[in-house]
Amino acid sequence: MMNVLIVSDNKPLVSFIQNLVASNNTDFQGVTIDYCYSAINKKPESLISLGLTSVNIKSETSVADIIKRYSLVISAHCKQIFPAKLVNSVRCINIHPGLNPHNRGWFPQVFSIINRKPVGCTIHLMNEDIDDGFILFQKAVPVFEWDTSLDVYERVQRAEMELLERHLVDLVLGNYQEKVPYEKGNYNGISDFKALCRLDLDHVGSLREHIDLLRALSHGQFKNAYFKTTENKKVFLSLNLEKEI
């Protein structure tokens, strides 16, 4: 008997995984899979509707229980960073919406639009560094000049699902080859993203650079890019791009 824990704060992704498991029931004989969402998720209702329960990956008690109960933990867009104690005690795998080692960390597609580094998805073993560790499977996706952050993210998520459809059983059973990243790459933290969001109205650059910045910060209904008025009030803005057919 093998016990697996999947921690996810992404409804489409975890729902896809649940359906994969249900449709390939014979491949997962002898495997018990539990599903949780992270304790810091402020809107877990859609995940609760899928049967997920809360887990606090930062709790020493919770981590000790996970280490005792599970032989594999998969992060499928979990909002919490796994602590060293967990990744050093149990096989942990991350489904990351970026093409390691490029733009590791927060919102890879945002930074790839701006710095033009490759983007895609990576499934990798986890270590103590964020979005690091041996690469198991990867898939690159294109970025077009009319894409917003949301367009690229949805393309990346489809690529993640394609990899999972082909390799979820391999991940659970350990049927894969580990590949060392060819370089450390670069990392972007939440502070880097927040710095992008506050627009400098006096910034000097090409129109292409300004359009790239705004489309990188345009993600559906999210209020990301802003400038401040003389009254110190935020004014939010985003781009709507439409390619001629």
Known catalytic residues are: 96
3-class DSSP assignment, residue 131: coil
Q: If you search the block for the tokens 């209904």, which residue do you land on?
A: 221
CB 159 within 8 A of CB 119: no
Pairing of the two strands 119-125 and 135-141 = antiparallel
Q: Which of 1, 20, 3 lies closest to 95, judged by CA?
A: 20
The tokens describing 240, both together, are 């709507």
Query: Where does residue 18 rank: exposed (0-12), middle (13-18), buried (19+ CB within 10 A)?
Result: middle
Query: Rounded to whole angstroms, how far apart are CA atoms 76 and 97?
Result: 9
